[in-house]
Amino acid sequence: MIRPILKYGDSGLHAPAAPVKAVTEEIQTLIDDMIKTMYAAPGVGLAAPQVGVGLRVFVIDISVGETPTELIAMVNPSFETCNDDASITEEEGCLSLPGFSAVVERRKQVVVSGLDRNGRPQKIEGEGLLARAFQHEMDHLNGTLFVDRLRGIKRELIIRRIAKLRRNRKW
Q: Where are the domains of the chain?
A: 11-167
Residue 159: the pLDDT is 97
Which whole number is the average pLDDT over 96-100?
97
Q: Is 99 left (phi over 0), alpha (psi -120 to 50) or beta?
A: left
- pLDDT tens for each residue of 119-157: 999 999 999 999 999 999 999 999 999 999 999 999 999
| Whether this model's pTM surpasses 0.85 | yes
Q: What is the pLDDT of residues 61-80, one digit of tens each?
A: 999 989 989 999 999 999 99
Looking at the annotation, which residues are catalytic? Answer: 137
CATH number of this structure's domain 11-167 = 3.90.45.10
* Confidence at residue 84, expressed as pLDDT on a 0 to 100 scale: 67
